[in-house]
Amino acid sequence: METTSHLLSSVLMARFAAQGFLRLDAVVPDDLNAAAVEALERGIPGVPYGIPLNVAFPDGSFTRRLVDLPPVAGALRSLVGPDPAVDHLAVHVREPNEGSAQPLHGDAIIDTRRDAFDVQLMYYPHDVTPEMGGTLLVPGSHLRLTNESDTGRYQNLLGQVRLTCPAGTVLLLHHGIWHGGRRNDSARRRYMFKIRFNPTAPQVRLWDTRDLDDPAVVAELSTTFPWYEHATGRLEIYNRIALWRTLTGDDTFDIEHWATRVHNRPGRTA
Amino acid sequence: MKQRVLVLYLATSSLDDRVVGWASYDGTGRTNPTTGDGEQPPYATGTDALRDGWRLFQASQLIPPYPGHEYDTSFLKHEFFFEKVE
């Protein structure tokens, strides 16, 4: 597995910290996409919770080939380290003209970790067109503390991503991001294959940090999204500062003095 | 009489601020709105909905943050429920 040259840059890590996801368009070759569709139709065997990634999938299987693709392996190593565990996997199917969508949700249960995160890989082995009801993603929602489908009331948020993508696209999501399978209004079955990964080591400077001081890092971390309320959007930036401090081990990192200002208490130690 | 419900999420607690999120539920059965079915909000602001005949029947309260959780973010704060009855 060759990953070193495919580690994420600091700018891409900052994009993940701000948006809660990264997309790797058409990163999976056609032959593997074809093998994947056959495998997904047959069904993918489950794995025990927490099994190390390096032993989770047999050599030659489509899952092993998928996670060993250098761009995928490099991104995973950057996000969850060299020896992540596989939490679980699932094949998601949106049936043709099924008439309903999933409610907007975050996976699992409310997750209050601020110094660690899981990553979910979503893989689309075929083209996803607008009418096929591609995954709905809400950029920048991953740091909101909500429990599973309690967000189901929100049908549409300004700036949401209604995924369309070429075959072989992989998304890597922070565990907290709000998402859902949209209604498939096409005559074609839509597949998505998901693997959740748990880190097994501190998620500190696991990526290619040579561009850490690039101004584009702060620009990524300062991104706001159209659905943010004005005041709460500022808190999102504050929380990203905290996340970036954790990811870099740099307790002095700040954006426009926002964290420094509210922690400045001269003469006090606690 | 049947009720149509429109939920608007606004950028601040002011009803004339811009819409950042929306949902609708149709008691007449003529439409079936669902998650992720639109790109553009039905109105630019909450007051635009009023001017189009929607009646406001609930607005979210302004609740101070819980001590120790001042920086936490969670649900959208500025939620307004409207109805049309026909």
Per-residue pLDDT tens digits of chain A, which is 270 residues long: 556 679 999 999 999 999 999 999 999 999 999 999 999 999 999 999 999 999 999 999 999 999 999 999 999 999 999 999 999 999 999 899 888 899 999 999 999 999 999 999 999 999 999 999 899 999 999 999 999 999 999 999 999 999 999 999 999 999 999 999 999 999 999 999 999 999 999 999 999 999 999 999 999 999 999 999 999 999 999 999 999 999 999 999 999 999 999 999 999 876
* Nearest-CA distance A231 → chain B (Å): 7
Residues 6 or more apart whose CB falls under 8 angstroms from that of A266 comprise: none
Residue B21 has pLDDT above 60, yes or no: yes
Residue of A102, A227, A229 lying closest to B35 (CB–CB): A102
**Strand residue runs (E) in A79-213:** 85-94, 119-124, 136-137, 156-157, 161-162, 169-174, 179-180, 190-198
Cβ-Cβ contacts under 8 Å, A101 against chain B: 34-37
What is the value of pTM for the model shown? 0.96
* Nearest-CA distance B5 → chain A (Å): 12
**Measured CA angle at B6 (ends B3, B7), to 5 deg:** 135
**Closest residue in A to B38 (Cα–Cα):** A156
ipTM: 0.97
What is the distance between the alpha carbons of residues A198 and A50, in angstroms, rounded to a whole number? 8
Cβ-Cβ contacts under 8 Å, A146 against chain B: 74-75
* Nearest-CA distance B38 → chain A (Å): 7
Side by side, the strands of the sheet bearing A51-52 are A21-24, A169-174, A119-124, A190-198, A85-94, A51-52
